[in-house]
Amino acid sequence: MNRICTVAAKELLLLRRDLGGMLVLFLMPAVLVLIITLVQQNVMELTGEQRSRLLFIDEEQGDLGRAFQAALAEDSFLEILSWPPQRRKEALSAVQDGAYTACLILPAGTGKALRTNLEESLEGQSLAAEDEADPLPHLTVYFDPAMLPAFRSGVLGKVKMAFGQVEMAEKIDFLAAHLTRKLTALGIPASYLSAQELGLAGLNRQLLAVREQGEAISEVQPGVVQQNVPAWALFGIFFTVLPLGGALLRERQSGVWTRFMSMPFSPVALLCGKVVAYLLVCFLQFLLIYAIGNQFFPLLGLPAFSIEAAPVQVLFIVCAASLAACGYGLLLGVVCNSYEQVSMFGSISIVISAAMGGIMVPVYAMPAALQRLSVFSPLNWGLTAFHDVLIRDDSLWSPESGIFRLLLFFLCSIGLAWKMSRPRW
């Protein structure tokens, strides 16, 4: 045990004096998690998965505008900011610059034109719309030119639906008033002729619905933060293979391992000491990334990363992923014959494994062939384990769980490292 602690302390001391290694281990994942999360958050806004901020300029200043704004506000994906008509030019400029998703302008006289059209419809006259020189009263929508077409059509659909609701309400009110006038003329008392009595009041209710299946069961919703914090923490953890493999290789090349082999103890203690040191490094890495996700992200307007749902399970996952990374690092240190091989092969294999495993792009967004390959990526096993406990409320201890694959990977790689290294040592 003393020897394991001695080796671990030496590894940590050497690492502390290696500025480049420290940057790779701590700064790189911290920067990556920040940048990638912010970028993906922006992409989600562009694709409508986040609330869109719409400016609304009501030039009519009447009931129609108020009803329309209220209808829009019912949509949880839209945030409506009402600006006065005097700021029209400023609003269009802000949308053009990308500060807001769109600007909706309700022209003066829209309500009056709607009522005129209703009267003409009920009296069987042709509508103004049929005259191309005098189109229907309309709401004008200006979009941010950078909006993706699919997102633009999604927002436009929501605006049209809200506008349609308002139009329907106006029609019902107008029809009720029209019927009242006609029936009063026939001698029916006005007290019997409210919209309720006429049976029109309920027509504005929604009578058909669309229901989306596959909602998340847990309270924690998978968002960019829940995807990226564990993903980039795992990426950082697996990058410990570079300093670990490099350190072992340097010991082999400098003759230190030859000296160790002449000493009165098993080299297993040396391997264990290295694993203990880098396990600690991996936990520190995870703590750093967790602190960024939990404390710093909210300052940037992002949701906080939380492990409250399963803190102990998360620690087990970090431990298993760290062991897998250590095993792989030791294997590289034994197999490679130069530091260039360790750094090239190590970093390329981790980046490929990260790309394949859903660290950079979620697995569900990959082509089918790559999705099938993702099950071979140790980073995917770790990420799946995080998602299992934080999002899906699944058990960490099921036989097909990622944590067992990570532990098996550790045992296989360290066993292989030991077997392959013996003749050299």
Partner 1 sequence: MTRPPAIAIEGLVKAYAGQESPAVNGMSLVVPQGILFGLLGANGAGKSTTLALLCGLTGADSGTMEILGRRMSPAALAVKKLLGFVPQDIALYEHLTGRENLLFFARLYGVKRKQLQERVDFCLHLAGLVPRADQLVATYSGGMKRRLNLAVGLLHEPEILFLDEPTVGIDAQSRQLIHTQLQHLVGQGLTIIYTTHYMEEAEQLCTLVAIIDQGKILAMDTPQGLMAHHGCRNLEECFFLLTGKELRD
Q: Quick one: which of 127, 256, 304, 312 contacts partner 1 (CB under 8 A)?
A: 256
6 binds partner 1 (CB under 8 A): yes
String marking each residue 202-241 x if it binds partner 1 according to CB under 8 A: ----------------------------------------
376 binds partner 1 (CB under 8 A): no
- The count of chain residues that interact with partner 1, using the rule CB under 8 A, is 22
Interacting span for partner 1 (CB under 8 A) from 107-115, 146-154, 228-236, 257-265:
257-265
Could you tell me the smallest distance in angstroms from the CB atom of residue 247 to partner 1? 10
Q: Quick one: which of 17, 89, 205, 211 contacts partner 1 (CB under 8 A)?
A: 17
Binders of partner 1 among 261-300, rule CB under 8 A?
261-266
Could you tell me the smallest distance in angstroms from the CB atom of residue 26 to partner 1? 18
Nearer to partner 1, 404 or 425 (CB): 425
Q: Quick one: which of 13, 43, 161, 420 contacts partner 1 (CB under 8 A)?
A: 13
What is the Cα 111 distance to its own chain's centre? 41
Could you tell me the smallest distance in angstroms from the CB atom of residue 29 to partner 1? 24
Q: Quick one: which of 124, 199, 255, 399 contacts partner 1 (CB under 8 A)?
A: 255
419 binds partner 1 (CB under 8 A): no
Nearer to partner 1, 6 or 47 (CB): 6
Could you tell me the smallest distance in angstroms from the CB atom of residue 233 to partner 1? 28
Nearer to partner 1, 252 or 387 (CB): 252
Could you tell me the smallest distance in angstroms from the CB atom of residue 34 to partner 1? 30
Interacting span for partner 1 (CB under 8 A) from 93-101, 259-267, 333-341, 376-384:
259-267
Residues that bind partner 1 (CB under 8 A): 2-3, 6-7, 10, 13-14, 17-18, 254-256, 258-266, 425
